[in-house]
Amino acid sequence: AGMIRAAPRDWRPLVVRANVRLMLGDIPGARADAEQAAREHPRVAAPQGALSEVLLAAGDNQAALRAIDAAIRLEPEEEDYLYFRAVVHRSAGRLQPALADIDRAIAAEQDSANMIAERCLIRARLRQPQALGDCDQAVQMEEDGLARLVRAGVLALRGDMSGARADLERAPRLDPR
């Protein structure tokens, strides 16, 4: 006689709880939930991607890179995973791989102000002249003010303090939480 196996547990509640815990600043709790989801569902990209976000927040860039690489192996053309891997690479100072990933992500989703703002950051750190053009494009597309803040930083790095101040003044006020 065969043994009846229980249906595998749904990964979504663990990932949602990990995300909420991360938003609340409970990185150890978020990590435990994300690691459990990733461990229980190694063939599902979303838990691997969620784990990478938690690991980056925990300051573990190498582990975050391994987790996002696992997500990309499962869903190679998912632009959100490519975008996040670019963030992980940039955070670790690996700017050329970051630029390659963000270019692939933007090619798949051309109307993302956040992705274009990320490319602006990467190009600015590489001292590429196209950085400001990316920032300008993202500012035109965005709704939340992040790209304007990014552009303010790029302008400041270039020594344009009056332009940086103007962008900072025009950016929406930040939530003081």
Convert the pLDDT of each residue in 16-73 to its tens digit.
Answer: 999 999 999 999 999 999 999 999 999 999 999 999 999 999 999 999 999 999 999 9
- Looking at residue 9, what is its pLDDT? 81
- Looking at residue 171, what is its pLDDT? 82
C-alpha 158: how far from chain center: 25
Sole residue written with tokens 């709880």: 17
Tokens read off for 65:
């890179």
Q: What are phi and psi of 73, to 5 degrees?
A: -60, -35
Taking residue 154's Cβ as centre, other Cβ atoms within 10 Å add up to 24
The whole-number average pLDDT for the span 122-128 is 94
Confidence tier at 172 by pLDDT (50, 70, 90): confident
Confidence tier at 5 by pLDDT (50, 70, 90): low
